[in-house]
Amino acid sequence: MSYQDMQSPYFKTLHSIQAPKITRVLAVALVLLILISVTFLTLVPWVQTASGAGSITALNPNDRAQEINALVSGRIQKWYVGDGSRVKAGDPIVKVVDNDPQLLDRLNSERGQVLAKLQAAETSLDIANIDRERMKGLFDDGLASRRDYEQARLKVEEQRAKVAETLAEVTRLDVNLSRQSVQIVRAPRDGVILNLNAGDTATLVSVGDSLATFVPDDVERVLEMYIDGSDVALVSPGAPVRVQFDGWPILQVSGWPSQSIGTFSGTVVAIDPSASLDGRFRLLVAEDKSAEHPWPDSRYVRFGSKAKGWVLLEQVSVGYEIWRQLNSFPPQLPMNPIEEG
């Protein structure tokens, strides 16, 4: 049937039928939506990321929470601090005394006796040296036998051994006195007493027992985060990271870091060479000092606080990223990987 036949008077009903206006509008809108979607998926960039969660810790192991240990065995006499107390370097924390209150006096008395013994041994050594010289002169003049001369020499060596033994005994006593005299445990640096691990004056402690947990001040914080093993090969020290802290207001778009609100800049400083038990790899992410916005104050982001990070990788199109995610492919390898330093 030709177009002319359709326009003939015999097809008036077919000629009067027209598509509804809403259908034409929807068709045009659908075509425009498809064109816009294709353009968006093809041209709009997307930054691939390797994400992971973790917690805040200290970069230097010496800056992390540490135990305050007893320097001597004994019992706790007095606490100078409590949980949450802020201390300065050298401030007293706890005093530990020996069970024998007269121990220091006894050690000092014993040291005096050993010093008298040392003086006597040194005097005997001087006399033995005089006898040896006198016997040597007699031996050279033929007035004494070699055996007498050798006996005099042996006597000198015996006295020297006694002097050395007595000096060692004095040294041991001095060490004991030094240890017992250092009964007040002091703060190694400025910080906060996290909690006390020992009790009151009825508590007995031994050398090395943990008395309190101490957290230093002014330490460099890092995010200790874990990422999947399939992504770790794409991450190198120096790679940029966006960090989200728990409890901090945020609007995060991982692929558009410039549009994110409430995230902070970080840099990968270390990557563990081996995986943890669950197959993930640990990264240490430090604050980017050159960033416009520094990390929140330690009052808001404390040690142990939870956080999440996104390591920024290659820039691809949105369409490619959606296709990759649907097929569970790994991110692209970087064209110019950051050299490990």
Number of domains the chain contains: 4
Residue 36 sits in the same domain as residue 134 = no
Q: Does any domain span residue 237?
A: yes
Instruction: Assess whether 187 and 77 both reside in one domain.
Output: yes
Highest mean pLDDT among 172-181, 197-206, 293-302: 293-302
| pLDDT of res. 339 | 43
d(CA 133, CA 152): 9
Q: What domain range is 153 assigned to?
A: 103-181
- Distance, in Å, from the CA atom of 301 to the CA atom of 58, rounded to the nearest integer, reads 12
How many Cβ atoms sit within 10 Å of the Cβ of residue 98? 16
* Per-residue pLDDT tens over the stretch 226-278: 988 777 877 888 888 888 888 776 665 555 555 556 688 899 998 888 888 88
Decide if 198 contacts 76 (C-beta within 8 A): yes
Question: Which is higher by pLDDT, 63 or 67?
Answer: 67
Residue 261 is given by DSSP the state B
Q: Is residue 332 part of a domain?
A: no
pLDDT band at 338 (very low <50, low <70, confident <90, very high): very low
- C-alpha–C-alpha distance, residues 56 and 285, integer Å: 9
pTM, two decimals, is 0.53
Q: pLDDT band at 337, cuts 50/70/90?
A: very low
Q: 339 and 239 in contact (C-beta within 8 Å)?
A: no
Q: For residue 336, is it within any domain?
A: no
Q: Output the domain CATH number for residue 243.
A: 2.40.30.170
Residue 97 pLDDT exceeds 80: no
CA distance 111 to 104: 10
Mean model confidence pLDDT for the chain: 77
- Looking at the fold, whether 231 and 309 belong to one and the same domain comes out as yes
Asked if 160 and 283 sit in the same domain, the reply is no
Cβ–Cβ < 8 Å for 160, 166? no
Indicate the residue type of 249.
Answer: P
